[in-house]
């Protein structure tokens, strides 16, 4: 029992309106669905343009937008009308609830897609870029959706996958790690450390590197899409 005047924190589940962008249309002609999760501060409508080079008639590309939007940079009330807006999948605040919310959101989007077309014979790829790496990995591991391939681009597997048992759910998916040799967020031996870490976890990941930094490289994306 709390004392009089003492604050308490609680949680309440509410409905949210989520936004997503598409390249292609759902239907029986589709053999591949790509769910591409953007990085910190990006929006779905701009992120999905990165995937125009791999668009084709039998490939449906879906870019969900993270549920929390914010103004980018230093913004006051006077400048908010012209400030750029981005979105984030989560912060450290109430992180477990945030993770649960976006895993549920991606599952809902997945089920919406496959209400419009059959699931059999369709390969589902989850691609995460930067902050979206953790999002895609957690969804593949914790979600109800059947994800056939996970592409983690420019980021690390989340730290909670610390043992082979915790990472076991990812073994049912084909995993590809993609990183630029000059990626400023994976420097000082971080790429080699991540390779070693995945090996210890028993995750047989394919590794692709390209000459570039923290970005979606077109030539590498084309290579990954046809692999």
pLDDT one-digit tens code per residue, 125-146: 999 999 999 999 999 999 999 9
3, pLDDT greater than 80: no
Residues above pLDDT 70, as percent of the chain:
96
Mapping DSSP to helix (H, G, I), strand (E, B) and coil, where does residue 49 land? helix
Q: Which residues on neighbouring strands pair with residue 34, listed in sequence order?
A: 61, 125
Q: Residues 177, 179, 184, 189: is their CA dihedral positive or negative?
A: positive
1, pLDDT greater than 70: no
- Separation CA 16–CA 75 (nearest Å): 25
The predicted model scores a pTM of: 0.92
**Average pLDDT for residues 3-19, to the nearest whole number?**
88
Q: Where are the alpha helices (DSSP H) in 116-151?
A: 131-142
Question: pLDDT for 42-81, tens place per residue?
Answer: 999 999 999 999 999 999 999 999 999 999 987 666 667 7
- Separation CA 78–CA 191 (nearest Å): 42
**Beta strand residue intervals within the chain, DSSP E:** 20-23, 32-37, 59-64, 68-71, 85-88, 123-129, 149-153, 174-180, 206-210
Fold of 20-226: Rossmann fold (3.40.50)
- Separation CA 38–CA 195 (nearest Å): 23
Return the higher-pLDDT residue of 36 and 184.
36
Neighbouring CB atoms inside 10 A of 168's CB total 14
Question: pLDDT for 133-188, tens place per residue?
Answer: 999 999 999 999 999 999 999 999 999 999 999 999 999 899 999 999 999 888 87
- Residue 1 has which token pair? 């029992």
- Separation CA 163–CA 223 (nearest Å): 31
């Amino acid at each position: 029992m709390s004392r009089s005047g003492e604050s308490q924190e609680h949680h309440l589940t509410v409905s949210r309106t989520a936004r997503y962008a598409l390249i292609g249309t759902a239907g029986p002609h589709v053999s591949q669905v790509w769910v591409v999760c953007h990085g910190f501060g990006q929006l779905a409508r701009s992120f999905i343009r990165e995937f125009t080079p791999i668009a084709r008639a039998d490939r449906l590309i879906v870019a969900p937008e993270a549920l929390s939007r914010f103004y980018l940079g230093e913004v006051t009330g006077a400048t908010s009308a012209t400030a750029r807006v981005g979105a984030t999948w989560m912060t450290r605040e109430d992180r477990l609830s945030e993770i649960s919310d976006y895993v549920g959101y991606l599952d809902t989007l997945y089920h919406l897609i496959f209400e419009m077309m059959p699931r059999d014979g369709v390969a589902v790829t989850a691609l995460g870029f930067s902050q979206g790496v953790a999002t895609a990995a957690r969804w593949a591991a914790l979600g109800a959706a059947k994800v056939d391939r996970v592409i983690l681009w420019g980021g690390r597997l989340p730290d909670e996958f610390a043992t082979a048992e915790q990472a076991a759910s990812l073994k049912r998916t084909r995993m590809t790690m993609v990183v630029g040799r000059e990626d400023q967020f994976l420097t000082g031996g971080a790429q080699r450390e991540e390779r070693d870490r995945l090996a210890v976890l028993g995750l047989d990941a394919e590794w692709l590197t390209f000459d570039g930094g923290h970005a979606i490289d077109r030539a590498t994306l084309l290579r990954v899409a046809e692999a």
